[in-house]
């Protein structure tokens, strides 16, 4: 080869290039490639996996500018009583540190509509912020209801200020509880309601939207609990069912590369878990999905994986190769 192949790992390693306390208990991190290169594209509603130096993996919504191909921004709420992910970010992580980043993936995509109502509860503002920017850019009719305990704890108020009265800020310590159904009223036909926030808020909104046409309400529950075991950093074994060969996948190579070195040709293309070319059947073991293609049900099924980026949760995977 005339061009040296870049090193490929499960996650890209990004550098923390900025850290800012933007509200009480809310820090934003800016992440970039150490070489300044382009990051994978994303759409509003996308999240990334942050693989923290302490071994924990957490999902955070991207809340920066998608036109900036060179940095990601996430907002992280310090969860008192959490299991150490957010406190690590708040207390340990500093500009210059390296973190593993998987994704981005979008389980909360924005659909085209004439009108949007966005409802954010607390840190639930993060996925909605790029949506608001996009709705505005498209000239859609939109409104944002942003709920929080107090203005001190609500991030991005300054970034939202230019939108004027399209943004309704409801701080509980000033205004008390909000009549959500009264606020919503009967949205005009074709309105899409996007909500991210604590379960209580989502449940209230589901009730308020119960009589609206199907697919009006779209929600994302932010998941404080970790979704799976932490991504393993230890090597694992991949058995190739058709040949019976077993290869060891070390942390510095992808499954694709490992099976390739064992002489098994698997076609790939994007090598970012975006295009799906390298789809491979999984016969046994649990994949650690790192792609941007599968939805939650497909990920849970675990019967296929994209071996350019995905790895293993179990010590051994048996692949249909």
Give the interface with other proteins as residue ranges (CB under 8 A).
Answer: 1-3, 38, 41, 43-44, 66-67, 69, 109-113, 134, 137-138, 192, 215-216, 260, 265, 267-271, 275-277, 279, 293, 298, 304
Question: In the complex with other proteins, which residue's Cβ is closer, 13 or 43?
Answer: 43
Least distance CB 316 / other proteins (angstroms): 23
Question: In the complex with other proteins, which residue's Cβ is closer, 51 or 278?
Answer: 278
Least distance CB 256 / other proteins (angstroms): 9
Torsion angle of C-alpha atoms 289, 272, 18, 221, degrees rounded to 10: -40
Name residues whose C-beta falls within 8 Å of residue 44's C-beta, 6 or more positions apart in sequence: 66, 109, 110, 127, 130, 131, 133, 134
Question: In the complex with other proteins, which residue's Cβ is closer, 67 or 165?
Answer: 67
Least distance CB 225 / other proteins (angstroms): 27
Helix residue spans in the chain (DSSP H):
85-91, 125-137, 157-160, 172-175, 180-184, 199-208, 255-261, 296-301
Between the CA of residue 205 and those of 114, 191, 209, what are the distances in Å?
20, 14, 6
Strand partners, 220: 196
Least distance CB 70 / other proteins (angstroms): 10
Question: In the complex with other proteins, which residue's Cβ is closer, 35 or 225?
Answer: 35
Least distance CB 73 / other proteins (angstroms): 16
At 199 the three-state DSSP class reads helix
Question: In the complex with other proteins, which residue's Cβ is closer, 303 or 315?
Answer: 303
Q: Strands 115-121, 141-148: parallel, antiparallel or unpaired by DSSP?
A: parallel
At 202 the three-state DSSP class reads helix
């Amino acid at each position: 080869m005339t061009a040296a192949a870049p090193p490929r790992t499960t996650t890209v390693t990004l550098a923390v290039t900025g850290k800012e306390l933007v509200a009480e208990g809310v820090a934003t991190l800016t992440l970039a490639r150490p070489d300044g290169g382009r990051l994978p594209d994303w759409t509003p509603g996308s999240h990334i996996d942050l693989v923290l130096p302490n071994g924990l993996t957490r999902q955070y919504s991207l809340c920066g500018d998608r036109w900036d191909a060179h940095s990601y921004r996430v907002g992280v709420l310090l969860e008192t009583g959490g299991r150490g992910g957010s406190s690590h970010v708040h207390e340990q992580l500093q500009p210059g540190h390296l973190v593993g980043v998987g994704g981005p993936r979008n389980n909360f995509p924005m659909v085209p509509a004439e009108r949007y109502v966005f409802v954010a509860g607390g840190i639930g503002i993060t996925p909605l912020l790029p949506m608001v920017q996009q709705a505005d850019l498209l000239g859609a009719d939109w409104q944002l209801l942003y709920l929080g305990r107090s203005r001190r704890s609500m991030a991005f108020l300054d970034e939202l200020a230019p939108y004027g009265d399209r943004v309704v800020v409801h701080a509980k310590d000033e205004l008390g509880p909000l009549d959500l159904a009264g606020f919503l009223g009967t949205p005009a036909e074709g309105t899409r309601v996007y909500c991210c926030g604590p379960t209580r808020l989502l449940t209230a909104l589901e009730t308020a939207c119960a009589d609206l046409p199907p697919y009006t309400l779209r929600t994302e529950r932010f998941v404080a609990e970790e979704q799976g075991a932490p991504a393993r950093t230890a090597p694992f074994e991949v058995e190739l069912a058709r040949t019976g060969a077993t290869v060891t996948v070390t942390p510095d190579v992808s499954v694709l590369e490992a099976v390739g070195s064992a002489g098994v040709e698997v076609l790939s293309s994007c090598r970012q878990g975006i295009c799906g070319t390298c789809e491979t059947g999984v016969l046994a073991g649990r994949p650690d999905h790192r792609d941007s293609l599968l939805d939650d049900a497909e990920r849970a099924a675990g019967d296929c994986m994209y071996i350019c980026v995905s790895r293993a949760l179990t010590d051994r995977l048996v692949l249909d190769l």
